[in-house]
Chain A
Amino acid sequence: QAGLTQPPSVSKGLRQTATLTCTGNSNNVGNQGAAWLQQYQGHPPKLLSYRNNNRPSGISERLSASRSGNTASLTITGLQPEDEADYYCSAWDSSLSVWVFGGGTKLTVL
């Protein structure tokens, strides 16, 4: 079951803006959009956004998500040291009837 495609790593400077991408197809990202998760080493994932740009309560307004076609994006503005983590996208694949994840992007804040 093919997963979603994310760049393995992204590096940006403090207070800069990082945009993470997640590419799927018309049966997953292009259909219902993607959700974004943040994970620190040794901890469970945490939901950051769903249905492309809805944030659970308590999630920073510096995070915003969007989708264009089969690619979803997560933009983090004003990068802080605590933003350094692994980020995963996920989506339901309506053709395969499975959930798929991206391979994850390690965000480094320089």
Chain B
Amino acid sequence: QVQLVESGGGVVQPGRSLRLSCAASGFTLSSCNMHWVRQAPGKGLEWVALIFYDGSDEYYADSVEGRFTTSRDSSKNTLYLQMNSLRAEDTAVYYCAREYGDGSAFDIWGQGTMVTVSS
């Protein structure tokens, strides 16, 4: 069964760091582009980051550029999002999502993990 399971969310103070994980099963991360998408409470979806299937490149939204880094561990088939210098506006449910083979959509989503940045 193709599945993504996020973990690592929680409550963190502004300026601190947090690392999210996204464990994949039923497929190999190294065969797909993978993304992070977030959703602030009561708001819409916001794309956060992309890592290419071969790890050759990454792209980030302006709002997180320089603070967030995505990576993956092929041996664990797990995707990561390292979030540094967290701000209140980073409070959201964070989803990892698989990019469909033709690059046109996100076809598999995790259940999400909540990150709350608050003092």
Interface residues of A (CB under 8 A from B): 1, 32-33, 35, 37, 39, 44-47, 49-51, 56, 88, 90, 92, 97-104
Which B86-119 residues have a C-beta within 8 angstroms of A? 95, 100, 102-107, 109-112
Interface residues of B (CB under 8 A from A): 35, 37, 44-47, 50, 59, 61-62, 95, 100, 102-107, 109-112
Is B107 a contact of A88 with CB atoms below 8 Å? no
Other than A32-B103, A92-B103, A101-B45, give 13 A-B pairs with Cβ distance below 8 A. Answer: A32-B104, A35-B104, A35-B106, A37-B45, A37-B106, A44-B109, A44-B110, A46-B109, A51-B105, A90-B105, A90-B106, A101-B46, A102-B44
Contact with A47, one of B103, B107, B112 (Cβ below 8 angstroms): B107
Judged by DSSP, the binding face of A is: strand
Contact with B45, one of A32, A49, A50, A90 (Cβ below 8 angstroms): A90
Closest A residue to B42 using CB positions: A41
Is A50 a contact of B47 with CB atoms below 8 Å? no
Shortest distance from the beta carbon of A24 to any chain B beta carbon, whole Å:
14
Within the assembled complex, what's the spacing in Å between the Cα atoms of A44 and B112?
Answer: 7
Is B110 a contact of A50 with CB atoms below 8 Å? no
Most chain B CB within a 10 A radius of its CB, from A46, A47, A104:
A47
Closest A residue to B96 using CB positions: A44
Contact with B111, one of A44, A49, A99, A102 (Cβ below 8 angstroms): A44
Is A103 a contact of B107 with CB atoms below 8 Å? no
